[in-house]
Chain A
Amino acid sequence: MIRFENVTVEYPNGVRALNDVNIHIGKGDFVFVVGPTGSGKSTLLKLVYREVAPTRGTVLLDGEDVGALKPAQVPYLRRKLGIVFQDFKLLPQKNVWENLAFAMRVIGKHPREIRRRISEVLDLVGLCHRCDAFPHQMSGGEQQRAAIARALVNYPTVLLADEPTGNLDPDTSWEIMQLLDQINTHGTTVLVATHDNQIVDRMKKRVIQLEAGYVVRDQQRGVYQHTALAEDLRCGA
């Protein structure tokens, strides 16, 4: 499904965000990408939705070389993905229903299909009763549910979540993770970048640990932990 082959990312300011990363994520997998701030978690996700292109190496999504896409092809790649952010990125001037409809209209979906799909997705995330609410009228958890609903409206094969619980309390974070787990059981591949150790330890999913741009651990049913290698890398070994 997603394959990183010898991927290195170096930003124009000289910062090396990822170093020779090799990862394979299968269809329907649920993967946590963990590591401290600046370890390269967000860059790894950005490579998948082509916000960033690899400096070296290849990123493949369903066999397609994402890094080689022309700018005009990037929107079509993103239609296969759902993206969720820590700060929700909901349009403040649109209510929940309009935020979801917006994501479908911009890719040319028919109004009838939009109405049907939005009801379905709002039902899934438990926000039917809040469809008229504007982001500022909602709690953090509700906003994140709305953001997940928006990420799901276009039937993505992959859901990318960058620190989705970063702004939420532990109980709400757990609810959001349960929701992502539920989405994963429907066959959607879920990739979550987080440094929320409690969630990772509780979920017992595959964990890919990054330290200073290196993959230092890739473990099935893993937990959030720091390794000795990570400490070495951090010390500049």
Chain B
Amino acid sequence: MGLRNVEYMIQEAFTGIRRNGLMAFASVTTIALSLGVLGTFALLALAANRFVLSRVNQFEIAVFIEGKTLADIEPALKQIRGIPGVVDLKVRDRKKEWEAFKRDRPDFESAGVPLDVLPFAIDVKVSDPSRIAQIAAKIRLINGVDRVNESKELVDRILAVLRVIKVLSIAGVLVLLGTTALIISNAIRLTLYARRLEIKIMQLVGATNQFIRLPLVIEGVVLGAVGAILAWFFLTLGGKYVALMAEKIVFLGRISSGVGRAELACGLVVVGAMIGAAGSFVSIRRFLHD
């Protein structure tokens, strides 16, 4: 296919949109609404995911190592750092710990118990909260480690919630994606039905199916992308409002899906254009075979 033909097809696609304005408007609105619903669900699912994950990420493994000085525990710290999945570790200030301990148990100080009786407390940060238990088990085996506290039950429970959210959101997005594709395909079919005479004439004068299909697929891509931009506009506005509302609810604090505006726009335009192209392609295929 020559460049002239491609140019002609793009021109035809835009002429088609202009001349079938009302149907194009109906398609764009349907696409915008469908993608809006899909986008809202996906963003809420991402925000919920992020919210729970942020809670889990706050969990660290508390490790207690016996030793008089920092130098005594250095070999153990080195081994902990060497465990895969350990991101960072922080040795708590023993003086502060001692002060706190003394407040709780004043009898210890009066009995003349020295500071170094307290083990060093180390907070270990891990990259993946689901590996907390596994890493804690490895730390327990290190020489000199007195006690390891990884809040296993709580972490497990939150991880279970996270898994449910993940499964539900993936299933929801898939169902909505399928429904969106069907709705958009139907809207495009209606525009094609309105143009069946044009398609018939093209067939009668000897246009190949590819020549008939391409301008309509380009139209589908353009309508899909325009619908996506509209959906993005409403999602961005709606997102701002939801974030403002959430900030007023104390326990939620600042929530965000973590998806930037540009990322959201790109994602929606790609999904919109792809669904538009696929919807047109499938509808025309049926049309050409009828």
Given A75-B209, A102-B202, output 16 extra A-B contacts at Cβ < 8 Å: A75-B203, A75-B207, A76-B206, A83-B204, A89-B204, A91-B197, A91-B201, A103-B205, A106-B202, A106-B205, A106-B206, A106-B211, A106-B212, A108-B2, A110-B4, A111-B4
B181-213 interface (Cβ within 8 A of A) = 197-198, 200-209, 211-212
Chain A residues positioned under 8 Å from B101 (CB to CB):
none
The CA-CA distance from A93 to B204 in the complex, in Å, is: 18
Interface presence of A72 (CB below 8 A) = yes
A-B CB proximity, top 9 nearest: A106-B207, A79-B206, A78-B206, A103-B205, A75-B206, A75-B208, A93-B19, A107-B206, A83-B204
Hey, which bits of chain A sit against chain B, CB under 8 A? 49, 71-72, 75-79, 81, 83, 89, 91-93, 102-103, 105-108, 110-111, 150, 154
Q: When chains A and B are docked, how far (Å) is the Cα of A17 from the Cα of B207?
A: 28
Per DSSP, chain A at the interface is: mixed
Residue among B19, B207, B212 with most chain A CB within 10 A:
B207
Min C-beta distance of A173 to chain B, whole Å: 22
20 of the cross-chain contacts (CB-CB < 8 Å) are A72-B209, A75-B209, A78-B203, A78-B204, A79-B206, A81-B206, A83-B205, A89-B201, A91-B198, A92-B197, A102-B201, A102-B202, A106-B205, A106-B211, A107-B205, A107-B206, A110-B4, A150-B205, A154-B205, A154-B206
In the assembled complex, how far is the CB of residue B218 from the closest CB belonging to chain A, in whole angstroms?
A: 15
Given contacts A89-B200, A91-B201, contact A107 B4 (CB under 8 A): no
Q: What B residues does A105 contact at CB under 8 A? A: 8
Residues of A within 8 A of B208 (CB): 72, 75
The residues of B that contact A106 with a CB separation of less than 8 Å are: 202, 205-207, 211-212
Q: Which residues of B contact A49 (CB under 8 A)?
A: 204
CB closest chain-A residue, reference B198: A91
Most buried by B among A75, A76, A79: A75
Main secondary structure of the interface of B (DSSP, over half): helix
Query: For the complex, what is the distance from the CA of A102 to the CA of B211, rounded to whole Å?
Result: 12
Q: Which residues of B contact A (CB under 8 A)?
A: 2, 4-5, 8, 19, 197-198, 200-209, 211-212
Contact of A78 with B205 in the complex, beta carbons under 8 Å: yes
Given the complex, which residues of B lie within 8 Å of A154, measured CB to CB?
A: 205-206
**C-alpha gap A76/B205 in the complex (Å):** 9
Smallest beta-carbon distance B11→chain A, Å: 10
Residues of B within 8 A of A91 (CB): 197-198, 201
| Distance of A77 Cα from B204 Cα, bound (Å) | 10
Which residue on B lies nearest to A93, using beta carbons?
A: B19
- Residue of A whose beta carbon sits closest to that of B200: A89
Q: How far is the CA of A107 from the CA of B211 in the complex (A)?
A: 8
Least Cβ–Cβ distance between A112 and chain B, in angstroms: 11
Chain B residue at minimum C-beta to C-beta distance from A104: B205
Q: How far is the CA of A89 from the CA of B201 in the complex (A)?
A: 7
Closest-CB distance, A116 to chain B (whole angstroms): 16
User: Hey, which chain B residues are within 8 Å of A93, CB to CB?
Assistant: 19
Q: What separation, in Å, do the CA atoms of A22 and B211 have in the docked complex? A: 36
User: Residue on A with the closest CB to B9?
Assistant: A105
CB pair B204 A108 closer than 8 Å? no
Provide the residues of chain B in CB contact with A83, threshold 8 Å. Answer: 204-205
Q: Is the CB of A107 within 8 A of B207?
A: yes
Across-interface contacts of A77 in B (CB, < 8 A): 206
Tell me the smallest distance from the CB of A203 to a CB of chain B, in Å: 25
